[in-house]
Copies of this chain bind each other. A is one copy, B any other.
Amino acid sequence: MKTLDLVLPDTRYPIHIGQKLLGNIELITPHLKHPRVAIVTNTTVAALYLEPLLTALEQAGIDCLPVILPDGEDFKTWATLNQIFDALLGAHCERSTTLIALGGGVIGDMTGFAAACYQRGVPFIQIPTTLLAQVDSSVGGKTAINHPHGKNMIGAFYQPKAVIADMDLLDTLPERELSAGLAEVIKYGLLGDADFICWLENNMAALRKRNKQALAYAVEHACKMKGAIVAQDEKEQGVRALLNLGHTFGHAIEAGLGFGTWLHGEAVGAGMMLAAEASHQLGWLDKAQVERVEALLKQANLPTQSPALGIARWLELMSHDKKVENGEIRFVLLKDLGHAIVAKLPAAILEQTLNSRFVLHTQ
């Protein structure tokens, strides 16, 4: 097991990465104010991993309340969040009760937001069960639910007490979810580390075969990069926005098709392709670099073509982006492979991008 230490102005917490961590409750107990937890998970993950976690905690004398939610991005709503509150209040959970998020990004984001709001804040711990959650969403304290008008529109910055990333939990991850997670891994290379792009090109096959060492290295590297950025800019006033590479386009895809149609990581993959294309149109990336991004996404079995939404709908959807300033959408673009910046896109270039071969077009 490796442990990273994320140090922020008001708090710090460990990110444990390794194998056989789920049953190791010594990673959990030091963070409990009181021997009571609510484990928030979904039907899919509960069937696989709830029992071992429950057993380990209960054997240590910790009172556990399981809260099992429906599975999927389309349930990342107030109604589902309220199921958590109903369960906590129904069981008289107090301010000293710790919430444990056992699941992927949706469970992590909702549990974190529930923890931020329940009685104005209770502690929580992340046990991410998808690659996407392990490399990205479980770290850094962004929590949220979706609104019909936009992804993650209602939420809070609220940090967990610990993150426990167990590679063994990835054994059962569906192929499509694995690829979605790889999109966020690739993101770290593209936005800030050209050497890591090479490493990914060389190790993508091992990652897709779920080689545990390769996975742990990718998770560790991504978490280190994310931790360094979040430590500089916890509330996204500046550099943290770079972590949104591919997300302005990606969120529009998710909302435009209806949440849950594409996985978040798939939308981010296609979104990064568009960001690369726009960067090419701006003269920042050459054609070969765009093709290298395309090849890497294909290696990860990710879509490189966005769905046909129509220019007007793209613009409407992206107008709700959290990076919009004075009515102008700001994009994370690539000055070079491994070097992202935030910039506005001239309308003509945005249109060219949305008319490029990286967007499917209906007749």
A20 at the B interface (CB under 8 A): no
A57 → chain B closest CB, angstroms: 18
Which of A95, A144, A152: most chain B Cβ within 10 A? A95
A85's contact among B10, B82, B153, by CB below 8 Å, is which? B153
Q: Residues of B contacting A90 with CB < 8 Å?
A: 149
A251 → chain B closest CB, angstroms: 12
A156 and B153 contacting across the interface, CB-CB below 8 Å: no
A328 → chain B closest CB, angstroms: 10
A3 at the B interface (CB under 8 A): no
Render A117-131 as a binary contact track against B, CB cut-off 8 A, 1 for contact: 111110000000000
Binds B, one of A160-168, A275-283, A303-311, A317-325: A317-325
A235 and B121 contacting across the interface, CB-CB below 8 Å: yes
- State in angstroms the CA–CA spacing of A90 and B119 once bound together: 29
Q: A78-B82, A85-B147 are in contact. Are A155 and B319 (CB under 8 A)?
A: no
A120 and B92 contacting across the interface, CB-CB below 8 Å: no
A363 at the B interface (CB under 8 A): no
- State in angstroms the CA–CA spacing of A95 and B235 once bound together: 12
A120 and B156 contacting across the interface, CB-CB below 8 Å: yes
- State in angstroms the CA–CA spacing of A92 and B119 once bound together: 30
A322 and B95 contacting across the interface, CB-CB below 8 Å: yes
- State in angstroms the CA–CA spacing of A65 and B142 once bound together: 28
- State in angstroms the CA–CA spacing of A343 and B142 once bound together: 36
Q: Which B residue sits closest to A145, measured CB to CB?
A: B117
A340 → chain B closest CB, angstroms: 20
A78's contact among B78, B94, B121, B156, by CB below 8 Å, is which? B78
A116 at the B interface (CB under 8 A): yes
Render A75-92 as a binary contact track against B, CB cut-off 8 A, 1 for contact: 000100010011001101
Q: A78-B82, A82-B78, A147-B89 are in contact. Are A153 and B324 (CB under 8 A)?
A: no
A155's contact among B117, B154, B327, by CB below 8 Å, is which? B117
Q: Residues of B contacting A34 with CB < 8 Å?
A: 326
A193 → chain B closest CB, angstroms: 26
Q: Residues of B contacting A172 with CB < 8 Å?
A: none
Q: List 11 A-B contacts (CB under 8 A).
A: A10-B10, A34-B326, A85-B153, A89-B150, A90-B149, A118-B154, A120-B142, A120-B144, A120-B156, A121-B156, A121-B157
